[in-house]
Amino acid sequence: MMSVNIRIVGLSLCLILIGIGVNLAAADQPANKMEFFKKHEGFLHPAPSPTDDPPPQPAISVAEWEPATGVLICYPLEIPLGLVAELSEDVEVITFLADEARRQQALRDYSGAGVDTSNCSFVFTGADWVPWTRDFGPWYIFDGNDEQGLIDNLYPWPNIGEELLPQILGDTLDIPVYETGLWLEGGNYMTDGMGNAITVDYTYFENEPLTPEEIDGYFEEYLGITNHITVPDPFWYFVPHIDCHAKLLDPGRILVIETGNQVIEENVAYYQTLMSGYGRPYEIVRMPGLGYCNSLILNDKVFVALSDSPGDSLAMLTWQEAMPGYEVMGFSYPGFWFLDALHCRTHEAHDRYMLRIVHVPVHDSENTGGGYYLEAEIHPYSNEPLVGPPVIMWKTEGGTYSPAAMTSVGDDIYAGEIPPQPDGTYIYYYIEAEDATGRVEHHPHIADGNPHHFFVGPDNEPPVVEFDPPTSIMLPEWPYTFTTYALDNRWISAVTMEWSVNGVAQVDVDLPLEEPYAVFYTGTVTGTIQPGDVIEARVKAVDTSTNQNTTYSPYFTIAIDSAPEIDIIMELVSIPVIPPEGGTLVYNLMLINGDTVPLSFDAWLDLTYESGFPTTLIQRYLTDFQPGQMISRPNMLLPIPTNYPAGMYFLGGKVGAYPDLIWSEDNLPFTKEGVSNGVAFKPWITEGITDPFIIADNNAGIINDHPLVEVYPNPFNPTTVLSYQLSGSCRINLTVYDITGRKVVTLVDGFRDAGNHKVQFDGSNLASGVYLYRLTTDAVSLTGKMVLMK
């Protein structure tokens, strides 16, 4: 553990937190995050594992917009001095820098720019480090003992060491630090403070061989995240951080950039199906252009990254309309880029004694003649009592606010009512509480600047229902799980499926809401069926209104088919025992289409340890597999390493629709000798596994000692040649995109024979920059970079 000294220096009253023992030569670290990622791409870090016990339960994550007393930055600065000055007006500016010489230099810069240096503190780190306090800084939580905690993750780049800073900060300020042992960056994490978090799915990739379920378990234990949402990255995983393209504004809204990128639009459609912390589907706010969502929400202000371009004014207007009541301020800086801007280089430091209010707003309501009941969880982390009862400040449209007192109903829950109002009334409200430290907080945080609101009046609008079942179901798929889309302007009380078999009515099936969604209702239909049966089905949705507004989908006809006649047969060649030092399992595999029609299907191998979860070793999609066609692959190899634990293993071969629908399967059990530690184990994929599902001239792939695509020259101006080599004839698509994901040109789209191929890419009419190529066949998909340098 590093020793840390605290002292007050001179008349500046700047607190200095000095970390001894960090001496990293980081002067050659690139300041641009893209250059940094490129420098370290391909770095293989150790497998993750927790290094500290989780905090006392339950852990509670803290959202960016919740009360903050400080902000973390690095010096030398990679943000404008004007931003530092503005931050110092409201919160303590905590600057990480190398030593006393750097501190003196920073003080000169700060004083010259009007920074309030009495509101600054400095952390000595022994080196000049990269500026991304968002990525390597602490994640703030409260633990089950009502204490603030800092979550410390591993920073996944070699020879950096910034992951030490949360520990220095925690030791100095006497805040517990909990090391997850996971490779995570703060730019790829946003939470609503209500148990929901969103990251790019790179979170799972960089923490293999941990499973997504295991990683989600750590999120819950260390962060209190019970709903971890992941989405693909729209920018080819160059900087796979959620803050490059999306940002939570509050528990019910997500700001998403709008660039025409297909992945972003797919993410937006996905967000709109999910249940937000406010108990409704997420509302999406669109931000035209790149980079502008990479901004900081800090207490009552929003600090926006600008680019000195025509898009700045529209970005500022969008932020102002999205965040009424907040002061929205724009800052430009030559080093800002859309994948690396203001949010990446700042990190809020939350109030460790905050007065915290959690509340799910009231939504549009019918007039029942009674008041409008609401609850809030109100907790002073100062452990000081509340001053008087919390109040609901409410008004009708055009009126003035009146207080309605809330009363404790136990466990920090307070309840109150807004008085009855006539139909056609819009009600606006916020919650206010004060504790004995003088802290006054509101929900929403900005109070009357943007209050909660709802409408009182009758509900005559029926739900929207979209039901699209398959036209046929194979017998092995039964019992079958049906899903329907249903959405109401207020809420839905019940969704059911009415169905019959061969004209005979069956018992209705309830379709409950499927977590984490707000619009998908799912239920499993059971009963006895056989090939040739015909099902007729429709969905009924009823809302929560007094009228019980109801919508029916059309009836759909579904045929029950038998499974295709296809067999997979596996046979051991080697003995079914692997010695402690490891070895290789040898087996034969045969796949036969015994049906009368061509089939297209998935074929895959998986490996399971004891009664655990299977690991997919190989998965391939086979098309147009003709009647009587056969794959016969003798002497297939499965290497088993020394560090696989002792116990029973099962090598499975399956065909069907990966991963859940299995038409045919076979399994080879075998034993690994040696030592087992008795804990759950999920096999990882080892080198040297042979693929039994390759068909000659049916799948194009890599010539083993030759890269799939070569680009020469690269960088280029203005033309370059892309060369690729195929091991078999196949359909191929080769397309070039710009860095935002927009398609520039399709170079190849069609069948090509085995052998060498070349195609020219002409960038004469394009701007300098990074361009991406993507080559896709039935068997492989590969993305690479080209640099046009004019």
Number of CB atoms found within 10 A of residue 712's CB:
10
The angle subtended at Cα 515 by Cα 512 and Cα 518, nearest 5°, is 80
CATH of 361-456, one of 2.102.10.10, 2.60.40.10, 3.40.50.800, 3.20.20.70: 2.60.40.10
pLDDT confidence of residue 47: 55
Which one, of 114, 63, 70, 118, lies nearest residue 90 by Cα? Answer: 70
Q: How many whole angstroms separate alpha carbon 765 and alpha carbon 763?
A: 6
Number of CB atoms found within 10 A of residue 196's CB:
23
Q: How confident is the model at residue 675 (pLDDT cuts 50, 70, 90)?
A: confident
Question: Can you tell me which residue has the tokens 């080599």?
Answer: 725
Task: List b or e across 153-162, with b for residues whose CB sees 16 or more CB atoms inside 10 angstroms.
Answer: bbbbbeebbb
pLDDT confidence of residue 781: 67
Measured between alpha carbons, how far apart are the two ends of the chain, in Å? 50
Q: How confident is the model at residue 767 (pLDDT cuts 50, 70, 90)?
A: confident
pLDDT tens string 338-394:
888 999 999 999 999 999 999 999 999 999 999 999 999 999 999 999 999 999 999
Q: How many whole angstroms separate alpha carbon 508 and alpha carbon 496?
A: 6
Res 776 pLDDT > 50? yes
Res 669 pLDDT > 70? yes
Q: How confident is the model at residue 4 (pLDDT cuts 50, 70, 90)?
A: very low
Q: Which residues pair with 16 in a beta bridge?
A: 7, 122
Q: Residue range 611-627: average pLDDT? A: 90
Q: How confident is the model at residue 436 (pLDDT cuts 50, 70, 90)?
A: very high
pLDDT confidence of residue 49: 61
Question: Can you tell me which residue has the tokens 């003035």?
Answer: 400
Is it true that the peptide bond before 479 is cis, omega within 30 degrees of 0? yes
Q: Which two tokens stand for residue 448?
A: 């009357």
Contacts of 660 (CB under 8 A, 6+ apart): none
Task: List b or e across 462-500, with b for residues whose CB sees 16 or more CB atoms inside 10 angstroms.
Answer: bbebebebeeebbeebbebebebbbbbebbbebbbbbbe
Res 501 pLDDT > 50? yes
Q: Residue range 656-672: average pLDDT? A: 94
Q: How many whole angstroms separate alpha carbon 512 and alpha carbon 308?
A: 50
Comma-separated ranges of CATH 2.60.40.10 domains in the chain? 361-456, 464-561
Higher pLDDT among residues 782 and 692, named by residue: 692
Comma-separated ranges of CATH 2.60.40.3880 domains in the chain? 566-672
List, edge to edge, every strand of the sheet that includes 92-97. Answer: 4-9, 14-19, 120-124, 92-97, 68-74, 347-350
Res 296 pLDDT > 90? yes
Question: Can you tell me which residue has the tokens 């970390």?
Answer: 19
By mean pLDDT, which of 108-112, 132-136, 397-401, 493-497 is the weakest? 132-136
Task: List b or e across 19-55, with b for residues whose CB sees 16 or more CB atoms inside 10 angstroms.
Answer: beebebebeebeeebeebbeebeeeeeeebeeeeebb
Q: How confident is the model at residue 73 (pLDDT cuts 50, 70, 90)?
A: very high
Is it true that the peptide bond before 419 is cis, omega within 30 degrees of 0? no
Cα radius of gyration (the chain): 30
Higher pLDDT among residues 91 and 4, named by residue: 91
Residues of the chain with pLDDT > 70, as a percent, come to 90
DSSP 565-597: -EEEEEEE-S-SEE-TT-EEEEEEEEEEE-SSS
Question: Strands (DSSP E) along 146-234, which ranges?
Answer: 148-154, 177-183, 190-191, 196-200, 227-231
Decide: helix, strand or coil at residue 755. strand
Phi, psi of 786 (to 5 degrees): -135, 145
Q: Residue range 650-676: average pLDDT? A: 94
pLDDT confidence of residue 40: 43
Q: How many whole angstroms separate alpha carbon 362 and alpha carbon 384?
A: 29
Cα–Cα distances in Å, from 293 out to 196, 320, 612? 19, 13, 42
Q: Which two tokens stand for residue 11?
A: 């008349």
CATH of 4-21+29-350, one of 3.75.10.10, 3.30.1280.10, 3.30.70.1560, 3.40.140.10: 3.75.10.10
Q: How many whole angstroms separate alpha carbon 774 and alpha carbon 127?
A: 40
pLDDT confidence of residue 780: 67
Q: How many whole angstroms separate alpha carbon 268 and alpha carbon 282?
A: 9
Q: How many whole angstroms separate alpha carbon 326 and alpha carbon 323?
A: 6
Q: How confident is the model at residue 163 (pLDDT cuts 50, 70, 90)?
A: low
Res 24 pLDDT > 60? no
pLDDT confidence of residue 14: 34
Higher pLDDT among residues 24 and 495, named by residue: 495
Comma-separated ranges of CATH 3.75.10.10 domains in the chain? 4-21+29-350
pLDDT confidence of residue 558: 98
Q: How many whole angstroms separate alpha carbon 721 and alpha carbon 346?
A: 42
**Residue 135: its H or E element:** helix 133-136
Q: How confident is the model at residue 708 (pLDDT cuts 50, 70, 90)?
A: low
Question: Can you tell me which residue has the tokens 């299995």?
Answer: 662
Alpha helices in 344-460 (DSSP H): none
Question: Strands (DSSP E) along 236-294, which ranges?
Answer: 246-250, 253-258, 283-288
Q: Residue range 27-45: average pLDDT? A: 44
pLDDT confidence of residue 146: 96
Contacts of 18 (CB under 8 A, 6+ apart): 4, 5, 6, 7, 123, 124
Comma-separated ranges of CATH 2.60.40.3080 domains in the chain? 709-788
Residues of the chain with pLDDT > 90, as a percent, come to 72
Contact 93, 121 (CB under 8 A): yes
Alpha helices in 443-597 (DSSP H): none
Say what the pTM is: 0.81
Higher pLDDT among residues 601 and 754, named by residue: 601
pLDDT confidence of residue 25: 29
Handedness of CA 679, 682, 684, 689 (dihedral sign): positive
Task: List b or e across 66-98, with b for residues whose CB sees 16 or more CB atoms inside 10 angstroms.
Answer: bbbbbbbbbbebbbbbebbebbbebbbbbbbbb
pLDDT confidence of residue 343: 95
- For the chain, give the mean pLDDT: 89
Q: Which two tokens stand for residue 575?
A: 């003995």
Contact 249, 323 (CB under 8 A): yes
Q: How confident is the model at residue 48 (pLDDT cuts 50, 70, 90)?
A: low
pLDDT tens string 107-122:
999 999 999 999 999 9
Question: Strands (DSSP E) along 363-412, which ranges?
Answer: 372-380, 391-396, 402-405, 407-410
Decide: helix, strand or coil at residue 173. helix
Contact 492, 462 (CB under 8 A): no
pLDDT tens string 218-240:
999 999 999 999 999 998 888 89
Q: How many whole angstroms separate alpha carbon 241 and alpha carbon 185?
A: 8
CATH placement of domain 709-788: 2.60.40.3080
Res 22 pLDDT > 80? no
Res 774 pLDDT > 90? no
Number of CB atoms found within 10 A of residue 691's CB:
16
Question: Can you tell me which residue has the tokens 């789209």?
Answer: 749
Greatest mean pLDDT among 16-30, 500-514, 732-746 = 500-514
pLDDT confidence of residue 157: 60
Protein fold of 464-561: Immunoglobulin-like (2.60.40)
Protein fold of 566-672: Immunoglobulin-like (2.60.40)
Phi, psi of 229 (to 5 degrees): -95, 130
User: What angle do helix axes 81-88 and 100-112 make, rounded to 10 degrees?
Assistant: 80
pLDDT confidence of residue 682: 85
Contacts of 236 (CB under 8 A, 6+ apart): 737, 739, 741, 772, 783
